[in-house]
Amino acid sequence: MTNVHVEWDNPEQTIIRYDFSKGWTWDEYYAATKMGDALIDSTTHKLLIGAILHIPDPTLPTNVLRGTQIGMKARHPRAVLVVLVTRNRFVHALYEVVVSAYRSLKEELLRADTLEDARALLNQRLASQWTPPDDPKS
């Protein structure tokens, strides 16, 4: 059994959610992202995708900075926004370190305290970034 579970967060398949259980590892996360990429590739729409990383437990594997950098660089091209969801102050502080160390992530890696806040943030940001496909009749 894996400690990182991935599934669609909404019926429109525009938000994918990764749920992390205590004791998760980077290998489990990278395996879950492969499954998440397969979910994204299975969609027929061309909408941009947001990802929620739901980490309720503050226990993190080693090499958080490096693992985060690798994960963000390897994400699916349509997964344009990632929201870290946790209320843990330690993880909040690590988030600030990550976005300070990798400034290019500031607009792509966001943080929220609750799943509801993350969904609202993603829906707002994705709606503002979505461009409708060209009309084939034009």
111: helix, coil or strand? strand
In a domain, 103, yes or no: yes
Taking the chain (138 residues) in runs of 10, the rounded mean pLDDT of each run is: 90 91 91 94 82 83 82 85 88 85 82 92 78 44
In a domain, 136, yes or no: no
In a domain, 137, yes or no: no
The whole-number pLDDT of residue 130 equals: 53
In a domain, 135, yes or no: no
The whole-number pLDDT of residue 94 equals: 84
In a domain, 134, yes or no: no
Report the CATH number at residue 31.
Answer: 3.40.525
Q: How many separate domains does the chain show?
A: 1
Range of the domain at 112: 4-129
In a domain, 75, yes or no: yes
